[in-house]
Amino acid sequence: MRALLLLPVVLFGARPAASVSLRPRPIVRGDSTVAAAADALAHGQPWRASRILAQVLSDSSRRTPDAVLLGARAAAAWNGWREVRDLLERESWLDALEDGAGRTLLARADLELGRDTVALADAQAAVAAAREGEHRARSLVLLARALDRLRADSAAADAYARAAVGLPAIAEWLVLRGATVRHDSGARARLYADLTQSAPRARIGWTEAAALERAGDSAAAATHYEQLGAVPASLALRAGLAHDSAASVLIRDTLVAYVAAHPGTSATRQVIQTLDGKYPQLPPEAELAVARALTSIGPLSRAGDGYTRAFAAGLGDAQDHLDAGDVLTRLGRYGDAARQYALVARPRPLAALAAYGRARALVRDGKLDAGRAALGRIGKRFSHDTTAAAAALYLLADLSADDRHDARARKQLRELARRYPTNRYAPTARFRAALIAYTAGQRRAAAAEFDTLARRYPRSDEAAGARYWAGRAWAGSGDTARARAAWRLLAAGDPQSYYVGASEQRLGLPTWTPAAAPDSFAAFPGLDSALARAAELEQVGMDVEAGWEYDAMARAADVSVERMLATAAALRARGRSVASIQLARRALAQGAIPDARVYRLLYPLARRDALLAETEERGLDPTLVAALIRQESMFDPRATSGAGARGLMQVMPDVGRAVAQTLGFPVWDPVLLYQADVNLQLGAAHLRELVGRYSEPVEILAAYNAGASRVEKWKTRTGAGDPELFAERIPFAETRDYVRIISRNQALYRVLYDWPVAAAGVSPGGGP
């Protein structure tokens, strides 16, 4: 492999076109478009920079080396590595301009795209072109990574060592990388002994296990991983060591036993991946174990396949058929789900749950008459089963409300609360029954029912809502004193509560505002140095090690409340908002003063300039968008939902592609959804469409979460013209909470930050 290093670079990707001079083209100064792109990039809007530059790069008279290099830097900042490659790979000036900065970018793009052999050549050229110390050292890291991937271990170790000299801030992480590719255990031990920083030292055991694995000592590596608690990695290696049939069967059974003993964990999911990779045809018993283990965590399609294979072999009990029905329901295969539920006849408690599951599947499959009939039979056949019978009544009431048969729905809800007072549905059933009375104009009856609910279930999720709506009902019946008393009691509660905000509005009080405090935090030198290391690691593409540094920062923060807050602020500044919010919550729970600086940590405002620019262009309230982002992603640009929504505003890839086409994006790559300014642009455009369709903020938010078709259906419910009633009568608990939380988030964002213009925003609104 060492001979690979001696091959001429031109063979690997420094490919000057014959018609292009090797001398860099003159740089055209004073191009205002290029200057605007540079400004956008400097302000954290790389995609905006790419769009601005598109017209320049498509014009041969303006496509200068500095414009191309700026375009590549912008694309790299939004992880558009294919765009970086397309911009740079045929340029002849890469090694002559800015110490070979273009060649370094191209090498990084090669690595990110898995073009390891080409990356090696480009990294070699980048090192040769770089004269400045840190720039050369960063190029050496790319060279080391390419050699590492190509298994040129000795050369990779040497490159990591040379890079460590030039990058002292992350030297110990580079030493660990170098140790991984050294086969001499004594040499590795000497490297470990020189480590002084806590985060790298914490990874020594993992590095040693990886080094043993790389050196081919899988048995020793498996033992190390097991000692570290990494059982899936240990089992995967042991599976690879099973070469004869007896050993293969033994390790297979060991893997299956682990799966059966640890269902529903991410570690088990990794073990199942090993099973599926080594044993494409598992015995039916193993398939059943796999299905059971994945039922709660997924992937659901694999769980469904496992159940199908096990059932075909005559395996599986009633619980398995019930679980299979649940899996198929979540996959949207309602007809198949109904058939699985129908197979559960006993024991009686499982049969009751299966009967409800089948009825629900029929409803979701559009077979409403059959579904209603099945729900009705549950109340007769399983009247003493508080779980299934109560759930059936609740769903029947929801269907009645959909049909605008509110009197029937109220009767069903009251029957549920009377017959099953200890069931988890009982408080919600009482609440929704009282709401129906309110919408029917029966204000005093509704008030009495809300008050009874609050007294009887003071710790339920519905208690605060019951007190608030009791206030509205008393106000509607003319008893303003009782109404205001109820709202005053709520207004003194948790300032983050939706009903606190709604009560403030009813009382004419200003939104609760924390005590003013500047965003100043104590200095901790160890924190500053850790941040510098993480930033340097990210710059050279060592994101895993950067993540370990951030995790170590969060763990080290526990020594004091002030360190928690300082660390939270530092993580917020680095875009690690989820960890920042978690630390701020811990600090508040441990006695931090609940002032404005703490609440700005709890309710961050990242990418402020981009958010303001986008909302101004779309005519949106910036406080609404900030509140929505806080709920959708906690301002984490890397957030990904289980359904596949991505980025700050949780845009689905197909939605993003469609909106990008309407906006005339010059290129499309789903990775753009993880770029904050792109996600803001696409999400804001989608939100603007909903704003144009609906007049009420609660409807806009419900449509953003659950889809416009559902909102159209919910708008037909009685009382939907009152925004608060519309929100309360949303049948999906997730969407109902979503609307309420964002409404309160918005009120807090308004008072926590200075905004350039007054925001209209979401308000509970509604009538008396």
Alpha-carbon separation of residue 579 from 552, 573, 597, 679, 768 (angstroms):
11, 11, 16, 21, 41
- Is there a cis peptide before residue 666, judged by omega within 30 degrees of 0? no
Q: Half-sphere exposure of residue 427, counting CA atoms within 13 Å on the CB side?
A: 17
Average pLDDT across the chain, whole number: 92
The 10s digit of each residue's pLDDT in 122-146 is: 999 999 999 878 999 999 999 999 9
Instruction: Give pLDDT, residue 25.
Output: 40
Average pLDDT over residues 558-565: 95
Indicate if the pLDDT at residue 31 is higher than 90. no
**Residue 20: pLDDT band by 50, 70, 90 thresholds?**
very low
The 10s digit of each residue's pLDDT in 650-684 is: 999 999 999 999 999 888 889 889 988 899 999 99
Q: Half-sphere exposure of residue 403, counting CA atoms within 13 Å on the CB side?
A: 14
Q: Residue 98 catalytic?
A: no
**Residue 281: pLDDT band by 50, 70, 90 thresholds?**
very high
Q: In 256-395, at which residue ranges do the beta strands (DSSP E only) sit?
A: none
Average pLDDT over residues 565-574: 95
Instruction: Give pLDDT, residue 768.
Output: 53
Collect all residues with Cβ–Cβ distance below 8 Å to 257 and sequence separation of at least 6: none
Cβ distance 454 to 466 under 8 Å?
yes
**Residue 14: pLDDT band by 50, 70, 90 thresholds?**
very low
The 10s digit of each residue's pLDDT in 340-396 is: 999 999 999 999 999 999 999 999 999 999 999 999 999 899 988 889 999 999 999
Q: How many CB atoms lie within 10 A of CB 405?
A: 15
The 10s digit of each residue's pLDDT in 448-492 is: 999 999 999 999 999 999 999 999 999 999 999 999 999 999 999
Instruction: Give pLDDT, residue 3.
Output: 34
Instruction: Give pLDDT, residue 2.
Output: 32
Residue identified by tokens 């402020």 is 608
> What percentage of the chain reaches a pLDDT higher than 90?
86
Q: Rounded to whole angstroms, how far apart are CA atoms 545 and 180?
A: 14
Instruction: Give pLDDT, residue 78.
Output: 87
Indicate if the pLDDT at residue 757 is higher than 80. no
Residues in a beta bridge with 646: 640, 651
Average pLDDT over residues 418-435: 96
Indicate if the pLDDT at residue 515 is higher than 70. yes
**Residue 118: pLDDT band by 50, 70, 90 thresholds?**
very high
Instruction: Give pLDDT, residue 275.
Output: 96
Instruction: Give pLDDT, residue 326.
Output: 97
The 10s digit of each residue's pLDDT in 201-242 is: 999 999 999 999 999 999 999 999 999 999 999 999 999 998
- Exactly one of 83, 208, 632, 699 is catalytic; name it: 632
The 10s digit of each residue's pLDDT in 315-328 is: 999 999 999 999 99
Average pLDDT over residues 291-312: 96
